[in-house]
Structures are given as C-alpha cells and as structure tokens.
Amino acid sequence: MIDLLNFYRVGDWIKVLGLVLIGYFAATSYFEFSLIIHLIAASLSMAFARALNNYYDTKIQKEKNYVDYVSKEIGSAKTLFLCFLPLILLIFFIKFYLSSFLSLSVLLLAIALAYVYSAPPFRFRNKTFIELPINVIGGICAFAFVFLYYSLPNLLFYFFIFSIGWYYFIAECLHQLGDFKKDKKVRRITTAIKLGKVKFLNMLKATSFFAFIISSIFLYKFIDTKFLVLPIIFIIINFMRMLKILKLKSDFDKIRTKIYGVEEGLLYLLSLYLFQI
C-alpha cells in the first residue's frame, strides 16, 4: 500500500497553506467557497513539485527517499505518473481562474518553475547560484495567484510578496545548510557548498540587513495606515529568527521546520481580520 501522504511529502508543505490564507484575507474580507478552491489548487501544485523533485533526486543523484521505494515496488513509469497526477487533477481547477488572466498566469508560472527546478534537461536544482532565485520566485508565485484573483497589485500586495519571498529565501538557505553533507556526497554543488558555510552565512547576514531596510521602508509607507502593524510583526519575528540562524553550529534542519511559525501566521491573519472590521 503506497503512503500518498509520504509520497507527496504533505507534512513538508501543509503548513505553507497558511500563506494561501494570508493572501486570501489580504485581498478580500469575506469567506466564500473559492477559498477551498485556492487551498486545493495550492496543495496540488506543491504535491506535484515535491514528488517530482524526489523522483529526479533518485534518478539523477541516486538519493534514497520514499519515491525511490515506490519506484522499486511499482516501476518508474507508474511512479512518474503518480508524480504528475496532482498536475492532471489541477487541470480541472484551472477553469476557475480563467476569469483572471493575471492570476492564471502566475499559477501556471509556479507550476512551470516547479518543473524546471527538478526535471531534466533544465534541473535548476543542480545549477549553482540559480537554484536559490528559482525557488524564491516559485514560492512567491505559489502565493501571489490567490491575491491576484481578487485584487490588482497594491502596497499591501507588495509587502506580502516581499515577506513570502524572504520566507522562501530563508527556507532554501536552511535547506542547503541542512543538506550540506548529503549534497556533497551526491556531488550537487549548491550555492552553500560553492561558497562554504562561513561565506554562505555571511551572505545571509548581508541579505538579512537589506531585508530589514526594505521592511523599514514598508514601515514608513504604512505609518499613517491601519497596516502599520504588519512590518512591525515582520521586523520583530525576523530579528528573533536570524539570531537562531546566524550560528555556524545551529541545527539548520530543526530551524527550517519552524521557519514559518504558527505564531507569525496567526498574527498576520488576526491583523488582517481586524483591519477589515
């Protein structure tokens, strides 16, 4: 019996559905059935991305994971079909987004980036200095399509794009640091391996400095609005987060599992709800 939750790595991305909720409530102030559609579409997109990535990790890097186990049980062709099954199911939901060309385009871009990140001949996962921006842009698209279905870009939208982009950047950096030894073993030259842990963490320090500058700009832009609390939440939580990350002997895998804490998401959602009252 195939464990589909494990095959699609649901435990790895289910918490990210909170980003869909934040995007939804940032764009609209009411509950409707479309929220369920957005959650399903995002779930299928992420299930496809994770399964496909694991599949080619086993085929190209010879890594051992659950997809490798399934492939040995049912064969490569059926396993690859299972990887693409979420994408096939997602086609039935695409018609929901036809009313918003911008939202549909961003959703399709998220899917395309998930494919080129993992699958040959592109396999940007193995391209030094490219894997980071591809991962970040893909993560942003996985959030942005929800907001854009209801509203055109505005200052609030750009704040969340910045916030989610920074989240995915941090998550990917922690992923590379956590997999440092494993990536070396399979000869995957990630940005972290190319630079080394010390230089990579120094890069993270530099980018965190710019992140705080940008969040301060949003703080200024929101100074006379009810949204002022949002960049304040970002600054406080990310300051606490970076204190944990910027230690050479940190348990990067453990930090990564808590990178988008429930507390931060609840604070954003509570703030957005109160703003709409």
- Band (pLDDT 50/70/90 cuts) for residue 261 is low
CA distance 16 to 159: 17
What is d(CA 243, CA 201) in angstroms, rounded to the nearest whole number?
Answer: 12
Mean pLDDT calculated for residue range 157-177 = 88
Q: Which amino acid is at 127?
A: K
**CA–CA distance, 5 with 10 (Å, rounded to integer):** 5
Cα–Cα nearest to 165, from 130, 137, 206: 137
CB 117 within 8 A of CB 137: no
Taking residues 61-65, report their average pLDDT.
87
Answer yes or no: is pLDDT of 260 > 60. Answer: no
Residue 42 binned pLDDT confidence (cut-offs 50, 70, 90): very high
Per-residue pLDDT band for 32 (boundaries 50, 70, 90) equals confident
Tokens of 84: 């693409």
Of 32 and 200, the structure prediction assigns the larger pLDDT to 200
Contact 195, 203 (CB under 8 A): yes
- Per-residue confidence (pLDDT) for residue 13, from 0 to 100: 86
- Rounded to an integer, the average pLDDT of 160-172 is 88
Half-sphere exposure of 64 (CA within 13 A, CB side): 2
pLDDT of 164 = 87
Give 251-260 contacts, CB < 8 A, sequence gap 24+: 252/174, 252/177, 252/178, 253/174, 253/178, 255/174, 256/171, 256/174, 256/175, 256/178, 259/167, 259/170, 259/171, 259/174, 260/15, 260/16, 260/18, 260/19, 260/167, 260/171
Task: Give the type of residue at 64.
Answer: K
If one compares 29 and 194, the residue with the highest pLDDT of the two is 194
The per-residue pLDDT for 24 is 87
Q: Is the pLDDT confidence value at 276 over 70?
A: no
- At 44 the pLDDT is 96
Q: CA 71, 76, 78, 83 torsion: positive or negative? A: positive
Q: Are 49 and 117 in contact (CB under 8 A)?
A: yes
Burial 194-233 (b: 16+ CB within 10 A, else e): ebeeeebbeebeeebeebbebbeebbeebeeeebebbbbb
User: What is the torsional sign of CA 246, 19, 7, 193?
Assistant: negative
Greatest mean pLDDT among 25-29, 79-83, 240-244 lies in 79-83
Q: How confident is the model at residue 181 (pLDDT cuts 50, 70, 90)?
A: confident
Q: Give the Cβ contact number of residue 143 at 10 Å.
A: 26
Q: Report d(CA 37, CA 64) in Å as an integer.
A: 34
Residue 262 has pLDDT above 70, yes or no: no
